[in-house]
Amino acid sequence: MAVLYPADSTACLINEAALKATGFKNPIGQLIFDDPLHWHVVGVIKDFILNSPYEPIKPLIIKGPRYGIGLMHMKLNSDRPTAQNLATIEKILKTYNPAFPFEYHFVDQEYAANFANEQLTEKLAALFAGLIIIISSMGLFGLATYTAETRIKEIGIRKVLGATASRITVLLSTSFVKLVLVSFIVATPIAWYVMHQWLASYPYRTPISIWLFVAAGAGAMLIAVLTVGFQAIRAAVANPVESLRAE
């Protein structure tokens, strides 16, 4: 191989991080000295996460299999079943290298394993967030029910004096909506700070969008309105005669 294609035995690829580290303006054909060989660059590839996603991408030199770890990366034909692709690859490899077993790993599965902890955290966060929403809704509903019961005579008098059901509903719901709004204002900077500190541990991360907090606030407000509004409407449409009978 070295006799027929002498250039191939010393060819290498570098990633973008290595290109930046070397400072090559025209990297193709440049030499990288690694005693006793001088490697010449034949191409530049995009940066990719090779090992830990928690560390910045380091300069990388990809050499031939003679000097590497003996791996082959293949892109499977999506038009054929995976089992059929693997059978074809195994047949070819056993033809040229029958002494070694055919071992393979899928890149997407290996890559996903790096984020196993994050996936578990995501599931737990979604579970606890759902429980918090349910408990909060139950608390709001109970508080709205108690408020309506304690103000039942006031509601009756207002209806006798001409107040509409919609006006009474708004009256009962406004105080709860204000509390939810205050809670949102207090919780937003805390949530932003916690998310920022968590994402800071990743060298490659998505920015925190303001629309994420807007959507969360709108969702919380909608849940509060639906929860409290149900009980407020029920109290507003009740017959005032029943509530004023004891007076």
**For the segment 159-201, what is each residue's pLDDT rounded down to a tens digit?**
777 777 777 777 777 878 888 889 889 999 999 999 888 888 7
Q: What's the CA gap between 228 and 182, in Å, rounded?
A: 16
DSSP 40-87: EEEEEE-----S-TTSPPPP-EE--TTTS---------TTS-HHHHHH
Specify if 5 maps to a domain.
Answer: no
Q: Phi, psi (5° rounding) for residue 18?
A: -70, -35
Mean pLDDT over 98-114 rounds to 82
Domain boundary among 92, 113, 134: 113
The set of long-range contacts for 29-34, using a CB threshold of 8 Å and a minimum separation of 24, is: 32/61
Q: Are residues 67 and 80 in the same domain?
A: no
Q: Are residues 146 and 238 in the same domain?
A: yes
Specify if 3 maps to a domain.
Answer: no
Mean pLDDT over 101-108 rounds to 84
Q: What's the CA gap between 153 and 18, in Å, rounded?
A: 78
Q: Are residues 133 and 184 in the same domain?
A: yes
Mean pLDDT over 103-107 rounds to 84
Alpha-helical (H) ranges within the chain are 16-22, 82-96, 107-113, 116-150, 152-160, 165-199, 210-236, 240-244
Q: Are residues 135 and 188 in the same domain?
A: yes
Please report, for residues 4, 47, 200, 225, the alpha-carbon distance to residue 206 in angstroms, rounded to integers and kept in the order given.
48, 17, 10, 32
Specify if 28 maps to a domain.
Answer: yes
Specify if 178 maps to a domain.
Answer: yes
Q: Are residues 96 and 33 in the same domain?
A: no
Specify if 197 maps to a domain.
Answer: yes
Q: Are residues 96 and 135 in the same domain?
A: no
Which amino acid, one-letter code, is at 155?
I
Q: Which residue has the higher pLDDT, 107 or 45?
A: 45
Specify if 40 maps to a domain.
Answer: yes
Asked if residue 11 has pLDDT above 60, the reply is yes
Q: Are residues 35 and 150 in the same domain?
A: no
Domain boundary among 71, 86, 104: 71
Q: Are residues 54 and 141 in the same domain?
A: no
> Lowest mean pLDDT: which of 25-34, 54-63, 102-111, 159-168?
159-168
- Number of structural domains (the chain) is 3
Give me the domain span that covers residue 86.
75-113
Q: What's the CA gap between 37 and 10, in Å, rounded?
A: 7
What average pLDDT is seen over the chain? Answer: 80
pTM given for the model: 0.60
Q: Are residues 200 and 134 in the same domain?
A: yes
Q: Are 40 and 47 in contact (CB under 8 A)?
A: no
Q: Are residues 92 and 61 in the same domain?
A: no
Q: Which of 147, 170, 159 is nearest to 237 (CA)?
A: 159
Q: Are residues 198 and 103 in the same domain?
A: no
Q: Which of 110, 120, 234, 126 is nearest to 173 (CA)?
A: 234
Residue 46: which pLDDT band, with cuts at 50, 70 and 90? very high
Specify if 240 maps to a domain.
Answer: yes
Specify if 2 maps to a domain.
Answer: no
Q: Are residues 63 and 29 in the same domain?
A: yes
Q: Phi, psi (5° rounding) for residue 43?
A: -175, 160
